[in-house]
């Protein structure tokens, strides 16, 4: 079941959007709020799969509330739906991080569930790619650290073999400390 947060201050628009979503999604839970503050509270209390927000909300200037939502919920796709389409606003909100910008028309409401399904699929795919990149980066870092530990171990062995002076003992202690530091750093990456 999908859990959608709808931020819409116009009651009639909220009702039309809800009907569209219910007819196209089937089993969903829609939480409707009328302001940014209520949306932020809802995000504190519940997990959502998608945020659908009007661009123009009472008490909000421009895309300030969109930026707050993106900051509060960076792992939830956000779609802006508005009654007044503007290409500059659309470009700015998408650049800010929303997944899509929809103008409220009868046609858009009819296909809204399809648009949101596409957004969810695309967003999940992007998240999976990001996770894969992070795992690869961490794996590469572990390999580098292990290689470095191997070099440190070789140096340590050479120093131990040539324990001719007190200086070598100091170097051995320093290398042991370096090995512990690298090993602890490696364990911290897991």
Provide the pLDDT for residue 154: 77
The least confident of 1-5, 29-33, 41-45 is: 1-5
Q: What is the pLDDT of residues 104-158, one digit of tens each?
A: 888 888 888 888 888 888 888 777 677 777 777 887 788 787 877 777 777 777 7
Provide the pLDDT for residue 187: 66
Distance CA 74, CA 69 (A): 8
Which DSSP string do the residues of 73-98 spell out, in sequence order?
-TTS-EEEEESS--HHHHHHHHHHT-
Neighbouring CB atoms inside 10 A of 121's CB total 11
């Amino acid at each position: 079941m999908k859990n959608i947060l709808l931020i819409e201050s116009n009651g009639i628009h909220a009702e039309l959007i809800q009907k569209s979503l219910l007819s196209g999604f089937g089993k969903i839970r829609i939480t409707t709020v009328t302001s940014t503050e209520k949306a932020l509270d809802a995000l504190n209390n519940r997990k959502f799969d998608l945020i659908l927000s009007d661009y123009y909300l009472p008490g909000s200037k421009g895309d300030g509330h969109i930026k707050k939502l993106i900051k509060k919920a960076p792992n939830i796709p956000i779609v802006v739906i508005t009654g007044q389409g503007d290409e500059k606003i659309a470009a700015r909100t998408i650049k800010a991080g929303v997944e899509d910008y929809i103008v409220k028309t009868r046609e858009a409401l009819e296909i809204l569930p399809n648009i949101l399904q596409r957004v969810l699929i695309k967003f999940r795919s992007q998240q999976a790619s990001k996770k894969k990149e992070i795992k690869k980066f961490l794996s590469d870092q572990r390999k580098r650290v292990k290689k470095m530990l191997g070099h440190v171990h070789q140096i340590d062995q050479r120093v131990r073999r040539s324990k001719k002076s007190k200086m070598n003992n100091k170097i051995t202690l320093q290398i042991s400390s370096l090995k512990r530091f690298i090993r602890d750093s490696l364990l911290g990456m897991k």
